[in-house]
Amino acid sequence: MNEQLLGGISCEEFLRDYWQKRPLLVRNAMPGFTGLIEPDALFKLASDEDVSARLVFQKDHRWELERGPFARKDFKSARRSPVWTLLIQELNHYVPAAEALLQQFDFIPHARLDDLMVSYATPGAGVGPHFDSYDVFLLQGWGRRRWQISAQADLALIDGIPLKILQNFEPEQEWILAPGDMLYLPPHYAHDGVAVDECMTYSVGFRAPSTQEIATQFLVYMQDKIQLDGQYQDPDLIVQTHPAQIGEAMVAQVAAMIARVQWERADVIDFLGRYLTEPKPHVYFHPPERPASETAFEEKVRRHGLHLAPQSQMLFHDARYYLNGEEVSLADCSELLQLLADKRSIPGQAFTPAWRDWMYQAYLDGYVRLAESR
């Protein structure tokens, strides 16, 4: 990894001293960086109904939030203030250069990565003082943004508005970030970014799911896994004084039934593989419009290799591989699958007939793409 990204410290030092602990401001983290997308192209993206786009602005001192898709005229609408922010989630699904940018953050496990968000703000705009439940690297594209941050413990939010805005924000530090500068913030760190000029900011976000979310999702997973035999029985039933009362014997028997719901480490691994690679509900894959035949596919892969579609998520644990919410059933291809998961691409010379059928199906599903079509 290039050490300039973290201001001259190694990724080991960053993880030890800053990650999940304290903010880090890096001037010129990416020299010459001015962004990955022009505003016009971003506005066009915001008109696509598959794209998760939000508009934030204040009207009569009240915060307002609108969800896309947006037409050009929405940005000029007279009913809205001229000070507004457009936020687009998952830029890495639409812009190949965004994926390359994310690869610079490979020193953090892919299992933690959420997405690359981009914001476009008119001068003076921002989304208000707030905190995120994410680790985030805020990378400045073109234009400048003033960031104020605070380690405050008071994270109470204003009630009854469509955005998360802190009731009391007490900034402790502030900087103006110019193109290529970057600010890392751990979760729950209060911050407020206001555009100095018309500007664009890229947020590399790393999810940190709550215990509640993990537990709820694990129970959903377990629901399909449990196989318990037996049935409620009461051959010794006796007459109750209150027929409406749930009897003690019933409570005890049901408690014993529920106690038979158990899981092992292998279930936790399988759950994590599926849960962490599960595409978000609004994510769509795009199967090839005119797919190559299996023979032509093999030839093209041999020549140029292939890569994961930008929407694809792939992770592994030991020899278990997961792609987009499902386990990959492909024996004896560990090395290749590891390469695909780590690098998101494989070169042509890695081709072996052993994985052709599986990979061809993944290609037809839109999960992987031929390298030449990138």
Using CB under 6 A as the criterion, which residues of the chain lie in contact with ligand SIN when the complex forms? 85, 119, 121, 126-127, 132, 136, 191, 193, 201, 203
Question: What's the closest the beta carbon of residue 191 comes to ligand SIN, in angstroms?
Answer: 6
Question: What's the closest the beta carbon of residue 153 comes to ligand SIN, in angstroms?
Answer: 19
50: contact with Co ion by CB under 5 A: no
**Percent helix, strand and coil across the chain, each rounded to 5?**
30, 25, 45
Task: Give the position of tokens 């104020």.
Answer: 148
C-beta of residue 130 within 8 angstroms of C-beta of residue 148: no
Taken in order 9, 15, 19, 21, the sign of the CA dihedral is negative
133: contact with Co ion by CB under 5 A: no
Question: What's the closest the beta carbon of residue 62 comes to Co ion, in angstroms?
Answer: 20
Taking CB under 5 A as the binding criterion, the range among 4-12, 132-140, 244-252, 289-297 that sits at the site for Co ion is 132-140
Residue ranges of alpha helices (H) inside 230-323 are 248-259, 265-277, 294-304
Options 64, 132, 298, 299; binder of Co ion; rule CB under 5 A: 132
- Nearest to 202, CA basis, from 148, 114, 143, 141: 141
164: contact with Co ion by CB under 5 A: no
Residue nearest to ligand SIN (CB): 119
Per DSSP, 293 falls in state P
The one-letter amino acid code at 85 reads T
Nearer to Co ion, 116 or 368 (CB): 116
Size of the site for Co ion (CB under 5 A): 1
C-alpha to C-alpha distance for 186 and 204, rounded to whole angstroms:
12
Taking CB under 5 A as the binding criterion, the range among 33-41, 109-117, 125-133, 334-342 that sits at the site for Co ion is 125-133
C-beta of residue 28 within 8 angstroms of C-beta of residue 5: no
Per DSSP, 48 falls in state -
Taking CB under 5 A as the binding criterion, the range among 62-70, 126-134, 244-252, 254-262 that sits at the site for Co ion is 126-134
Question: What's the closest the beta carbon of residue 36 comes to ligand SIN, in angstroms?
Answer: 14
- Nearest to 203, CA basis, from 116, 129, 85, 105: 116
Question: What's the closest the beta carbon of residue 73 comes to ligand SIN, in angstroms?
Answer: 23
Residues that bind Co ion (CB under 5 A): 132
